Amino acid sequence: MTAFSLDEAQLARCAELRTLAAGRLRPLAGKGEPGRVNRALVAELGALGLLSRLFTVGALELCLMRESLARECTEAETALALQGLGAHPVHAHGTPEQRDRWLPRVSDGTAVAAFALSEPGAGSDAAALSLGAERDGPDGWRLTGEKCWISNAPDADLYTVFARTTPGAGARGVTAFLVPADRPGLTGSRLDMLAPHAIGSLSFDGVPVTAADVLGEPDAGFRVAMDTLNLFRPSVGAFAVGMAQAALDATVAHTARRGAFGGRLQDLQAVAHQVAEMSVRTEAARLMVYAAATAYDEGAPDVPRRSAMAKLLATETAQYVVDTAVQLHGARALCRGHLLEHLYREVRAPRIYEGASEVQRGIIAKELYKTLEAR
């Protein structure tokens, strides 16, 4: 199958997801408290079997899930994605004991997962992590330091935490740990952010971890992080495409019925051309996301570049499309509770998290020059 067309079964699953999102998930999302994990919504995602699919589908199917949910309910999409982001390292790099303990609970929505990589002084430069892991006996460490801008914190039940086990070794001295939220010395606080989902900071005061908590191998945690991000970056693009499509759909409907200057907005060439541009950019971003996801599923050697390109184009496109949609709707789109007011707040963060747009450009350029040097 190519990356540029979907078969009937895939189209049917996308339609089914949009129906579920509108009928069963959106009402639960509306009852959630801003800035806190909506456990009822997470549980419903589990009951519908969507969370378990995070660990059985490929990158393309993950993208289709995220895009479909985002078109109807961004809160549901985000809840699903954060479960996957936080628990994928356990699925891909965990021991049988770690997987058996946590993945069933993540899959049924009774445990909330989080991916704890960013720090106050290490956001885009993930290799500059300073959360320290000091040796505590032959088989343990103590984690001391802070994490910041962690989605699902401080409400999560388990955290994939990246800490520096070898000082001065850069990316080669980082270890990934699975840290349950009830470990002594681990506390957290909420951050009041533009995006409405739960996000916070974590403080580690000598938090004990052992070899049984390591994900992968000691000092090889950066590979765990990059493996996770290479999978989820295209799907961040899918989230962005879903938001762009929702904004485009709303704009087509609005401009078709809104009267202006003796006709309808769609009759004004300036408006029609803007809508056409929104459509072209959204479809281009969608195709690049599908292509990157297919490359990941096929084990292509250029996955880092394709993933970065997909996230970059899709998130920048979504920002443009939503902003244009707000402009064409006028003041009504600025009213609290309007779909576009909601999307306008949601669409900004993806250009920063999981690697800012500038970081993606750096990855793309690095991969291009690496290819040249290999010739």
Active site residues: 354
**The Cα angle at residue 172 between residues 171 and 178, in degrees rounded to 5:** 85
> Which has the closest alpha carbon to 242: 63, 102, 82?
63
Distance of CA 8 to the CA centre of its chain: 26
User: Using an 8 Å Cβ cutoff, are 188 and 207 in contact?
Assistant: no
The CA–CA distances, whole Å, from 90 to 3, 30, 96, 282, 348 equal 28, 31, 9, 33, 29
The CA–CA distances, whole Å, from 265 to 211, 226, 254, 322 equal 64, 46, 8, 18
Which class for 223: exposed (0-12), middle (13-18), buried (19 or more C-beta within 10 A)? middle
